[in-house]
Structure 1
Amino acid sequence: MALKIGVLYGGKSTEREVSLKSGEAVFQGLKAKGYRVVKIDVAEQDFIDQIKNENINLAFLALHGKYGEDGTIQGLLEILGIPYTGSGVLASAVAMNKVTTKKLLQVDNIPTPDFCTYTREDISKLGMEQVSNEIIDRLSLPVVIKAPTQGSTIGISFVKTKDELPKALEESFKFDRLVMAEKFITGTEVTVTVLGNENPRVLPQIEIVSATGVYDYHAKYTVGMSEHIIPPRLPDKYLEITADLALRTHQTLGCRGLSRVDLIVTKNGNVYVLEANTLPGMTETSLVPDAARAAGIEFPDLVSTLVELALE
């Protein structure tokens, strides 16, 4: 009997709209390859019953953000005994949390921008003035304030003055109980797609140039708001470094199938890993499909490869 695939998409996270687009693209790509395929929106109350009733042999995860990219749906599928695309429970949970990711990168001597974290309780105890001063003393301005378990730059603020810090921290607290302040690094933004399990390979790298100067949610998902340059306009020695760091990050976090690692190369030649994405976007403006095309892999072949990797 032919393999039947359920595309799990949508969901309840703040990235639902992106996931709906990714899921539709994956659905069409799998159909083009001749797979039997159904779409299942995990925001539906009966989505578990749908998974069971459809008798799928494999789940293709086109989810983004909480409850999809963070290990929760992966754990459910493990219990149900259904193989799925992408990383497992642990790698998904770790990569979704930017603070945990950065701590693991530091242990493996993978360079990542300096950071510090605060809870609401910290701010109540220390006071906003002291917290602001600590952030500035350690990281200097400008600084990036992040909600560590969100994707697609949701809950992120770029802070240029001390007066902007309280509002930025409050914005991130809307999404997480812990917020992260990270040193703002300027340079060339590079994203590296890593494809594979035990012997992963790097696809052509992409330089990201945003029309607004910041690669935020609007720039990521609005046609024409960002430019993807392949290959990046960097000397080969830096592309070798970014490729190596992306591979090391993929392996350090225990990723499988696919990851997209975001890095930045400064003018003075320092390279930093910013984060890793275990379920990167698959929309018309997404980076991974662009990288695959540059490698000669059309979208239907890319999603078919991910199915094959999930079954290894």
Structure 2
Amino acid sequence: MTDLGKVGVLYGGISAEREVSLMSGAGVHQALCQLGVDAHLFDTQSQSLAELAQAGFDRVFIALHGRYGEDGTLQGALELLHIPYTGSGPMASAVAMDKVMTKRIWLQHGLPTPDFAVLKTMQDLVGLADRLPMPFIMKPAHEGSTVGFSRIDQIDQIEPAYALAAKFDRAVLAERFIQGRELTVPVIGSGEQARSLPIIEIAAPDGNYDFENKYYTNDTQYFCPAPLDDALSETIREYARLAYLAVGCEGWGRVDFMLDADNQPWLLEVNTSPGMTSHSLVPMAAKAEGTSYEQLCLQLIQTADLKLQAVARL
């Protein structure tokens, strides 16, 4: 194995997804240590950028989710500190965290994504049900893990749903609800080398893939590879790759879809620092290709070599 030097696993943080990040980081750290990597946990909630600069890390694995970890801010700091890291750069990370901007970019590239509206004040709710027929969903524009998520089936649910989402974000995304099958596609690599892993279908109890069903219960069923015909599977995997590249992603990520009754796939969002917990989906897809969790972690930290080469030129 190539000597990776001293590796930091950045985890925890201060976002609404801190709890998940703690689980992801612990898993990655354990896996790297089992492979003989000199890996060290670093919680960005309690440890400062000054401490990060002094830690002597040769590269870092970003196992943070949400704001101040997945949104480009930390990536920019790492570039200033000349520390190579996993995943996308500052711009792609920031764009992917902004669900509205992501959808606008996909539309410019001719990629399918559900109709939507952006809400910033209570006044924006006036006439929303006419502009975006029910059912539709509401969620913060810059959060993940279904934080602040609601489905709206009747008018009296609109204001409470907006109030919930607005607790987490100044911008709220209202989006047409797609009834159908929930799919996700991990993508590994950069540029022409980017490739989609097997598709995962998620079958949550009553179709409710919420925080609890994502991370804690064993009631959600996962099918990997998803039971789809070859042509449709190839189309969805290509959409995932194109969606990932359109945003400018590098290293790794995960693209989420809904597949409607007519077998039309709809792009929902792209995650640039996906979960790495025991319930997480990228490890599941990698396993379907014969790659263990430990080997996946190793492959991902090795992708920091591309940024290492860039740092060496500075």
Common fold by TM > 0.5 = yes
User: Who is 2:90 aligned against?
Assistant: 89
What is the distance in 1 between the residues matched to 2:35 and 2:273?
Answer: 21
Report if aligned partners of 1:40, 1:47 keep a CA contact under 8 Å in 2: no
Q: Residues 192-212 of structure 1, C-alpha deviation per residue, up to 9 Å, x if partnerless?
A: 000011211111110000023
Q: How does 1:113-192 map to 2 (within 5 A)?
A: 113-120=114-121, 123-124=122-123, 128=125, 131=126, 133=127, 135-192=128-185
User: Who is 2:295 aligned against?
Assistant: 301
Question: What secondary structure, in the 3-state scheme, does the structure 2 residue paired with 1:251 have?
Answer: helix
1:223 partner amino acid: T
User: Who is 1:278 aligned against?
Assistant: 272
User: How many angstroms does 1:2 deviate by?
Assistant: 5.4
What is the distance in 2 between the residues matched to 1:85 and 1:213?
Answer: 32
Question: What secondary structure, in the 3-state scheme, does the structure 2 residue paired with 1:180 have?
Answer: strand
Gaps (5+ residues) in structure 2? 307-314
Farther off after superposition, 223-232 or 299-308: 223-232
| Pairing 1:25–2:19 present | no
1:179 partner amino acid: V
Q: Residues 260-289 of structure 1, C-alpha deviation per residue, up to 9 Å, x if partnerless?
A: 000111111211111100000000001111
User: Who is 2:309 aligned against?
Assistant: none
Q: Residues 37-58 of structure 1, C-alpha deviation per residue, up to 9 Å, x if partnerless?
A: 11110001x4323322320000
Report if aligned partners of 1:197, 1:309 keep a CA contact under 8 Å in 2: no
Report if aligned partners of 2:256, 2:269 keep a CA contact under 8 Å in 1: yes
What is the distance in 1 between the residues matched to 2:291 and 2:162?
Answer: 42
User: Who is 1:69 aligned against?
Assistant: 70
Question: What secondary structure, in the 3-state scheme, does the structure 2 residue paired with 1:212 have?
Answer: helix
User: Who is 1:101 aligned against?
Assistant: 102
User: Who is 1:49 aligned against?
Assistant: 50
TM-score, normalised by the number of residues in structure 1: 0.94
Q: Residues 145-196 of structure 1, C-alpha deviation per residue, up to 9 Å, x if partnerless?
A: 1111001010110011001001001111111111111000011111000001
Question: What secondary structure, in the 3-state scheme, does the structure 1 residue paired with 2:207 have?
Answer: coil
What is the distance in 2 between the residues matched to 1:103 and 1:214?
Answer: 27
Report if aligned partners of 1:115, 1:139 keep a CA contact under 8 Å in 2: yes
What is the distance in 2 between the residues matched to 1:300 and 1:32?
Answer: 8
| Pairing 1:37–2:39 present | yes
2:252 partner amino acid: L
Q: Percent identity?
A: 42
Gaps (5+ residues) in structure 1? none
Q: CA RMSD in A?
A: 1.2
Q: How does 1:213-232 map to 2 (within 5 A)?
A: 213-232=207-226
What is the distance in 2 between the residues matched to 1:153 and 1:299?
Answer: 24
Farther off after superposition, 171-180 or 20-29: 171-180
Report if aligned partners of 1:212, 1:225 keep a CA contact under 8 Å in 2: no
Report if aligned partners of 2:4, 2:58 keep a CA contact under 8 Å in 1: no
Given the alignment, which residue of 202, 205, 210 partners 1:211? 205
User: Who is 2:311 aligned against?
Assistant: none
What is the distance in 2 between the residues matched to 1:283 and 1:212?
Answer: 23
Q: Residues 108-142 of structure 1, C-alpha deviation per residue, up to 9 Å, x if partnerless?
A: 0000000011211xx34x6x5xx2x3x22222111
Q: Residues 16-66 of structure 1, C-alpha deviation per residue, up to 9 Å, x if partnerless?
A: 01000000000011112211111110001x432332232000011000011
What is the distance in 2 between the residues matched to 1:171 and 1:224?
Answer: 27
What is the distance in 2 between the residues matched to 1:212 and 1:79?
Answer: 46
Report if aligned partners of 1:289, 1:299 keep a CA contact under 8 Å in 2: yes
Number of equivalenced pairs: 303
What is the distance in 1 between the residues matched to 2:98 and 2:210?
Answer: 18
What is the distance in 2 between the residues matched to 1:100 and 1:60?
Answer: 26
Report if aligned partners of 1:212, 1:219 keep a CA contact under 8 Å in 2: no
What is the distance in 1 between the residues matched to 2:133 and 2:13?
Answer: 38
Q: Residues 205-242 of structure 1, C-alpha deviation per residue, up to 9 Å, x if partnerless?
A: 10000023111111111131311101212222211111
Report if aligned partners of 2:225, 2:285 keep a CA contact under 8 Å in 1: no
What is the distance in 1 between the residues matched to 2:277 and 2:219?
Answer: 14
What is the distance in 2 between the residues matched to 1:282 and 1:212?
Answer: 25
User: Who is 1:14 aligned against?
Assistant: 16
Question: What secondary structure, in the 3-state scheme, does the structure 1 residue paired with 2:183 have?
Answer: strand
Question: What secondary structure, in the 3-state scheme, does the structure 2 residue paired with 1:8 have?
Answer: strand
